[in-house]
């Protein structure tokens, strides 16, 4: 049976209680989300621009199936990530390099945060938490 968004967010929150870990997550989860979007952005696909657009659409369906309010917030955030990729695509440094560096640095800090917290990242239990993390951040921002 599928868990409700409330129970998933509550379970995610239980391993994110330490102030330092929370601060790290507030910065690094959106950075990782953007970095993945950027890495997918560089994979071009005929008729739909790139893999980031397709993935955003599919992820949006997941969020819609869980909660419409969070889905709208996540879709807005996802579109902002796509727009940032669009504007960064032809800059001095290649978008892929910036995305990979951001991804690695943000994950290092995430694991430092969980070490401080003393709890394993939630996605070790269920990969679905890789999508719940960004929703949890969005929910915290719009409390």
pLDDT tens, N- to C-terminus, the chain (143 residues) = 578 889 999 999 988 999 999 999 999 999 999 999 999 999 999 998 899 999 999 999 999 999 999 999 999 999 999 999 999 988 878 999 999 999 999 999 999 999 999 988 888 888 888 999 999 999 988 87
User: Which residues have a Cβ under 8 Å from the Cβ of 118 and sit 6 or more positions away?
Assistant: 18
pLDDT at 141: 87
Is residue 3 in some structural domain?
no
Largest CA distance in the chain: 48
pLDDT value at residue 1: 55
Number of domains in the chain: 1
As a whole number of angstroms, the distance between CA 49 and CA 85 comes to: 12
CA distance 135 to 104: 21
Print the domain residue range for 43.
27-141
**Any domain includes 16:** no
Residue 90 falls inside a structural domain? yes
Is residue 64 a part of any domain in this protein?
yes
Domain assignment of residue 112, yes or no: yes
Burial of 71-109, coded b for 16+ CB within 10 Å and e otherwise, reads bebbbebbeebbeebeebeeeeeebeebbeebbeebeeb
In a domain, 8, yes or no: no
Establish if 76 belongs to a structural domain.
Answer: yes
Q: What's the CA gap between 95 and 112, in Å, rounded?
A: 26
Q: In whole angstroms, what is the distance from residue 134 CA to residue 5 CA?
A: 12
Q: Is residue 12 part of a domain?
A: no
């Amino acid at each position: 049976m599928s868990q409700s968004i409330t129970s998933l967010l509550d379970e995610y929150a239980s391993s994110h209680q330490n102030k330092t870990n929370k601060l790290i997550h507030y910065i690094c989860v959106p950075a990782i989300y953007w970095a993945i979007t950027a890495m997918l952005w560089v994979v071009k696909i005929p008729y739909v621009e790139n893999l980031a657009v397709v993935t955003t659409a599919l992820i949006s369906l997941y969020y819609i199936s869980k909660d419409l309010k969070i889905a709208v917030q996540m879709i807005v955030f996802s579109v902002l990530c796509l727009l940032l990729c669009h504007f960064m695509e032809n800059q001095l440094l290649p978008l892929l390099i910036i995305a990979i560096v951001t991804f690695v640095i943000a994950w290092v800090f995430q694991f430092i945060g969980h070490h401080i917290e003393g709890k394993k990242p939630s996605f070790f239990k269920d990969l679905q938490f890789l999508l719940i993390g960004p929703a949890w951040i969005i929910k915290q921002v719009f409390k």
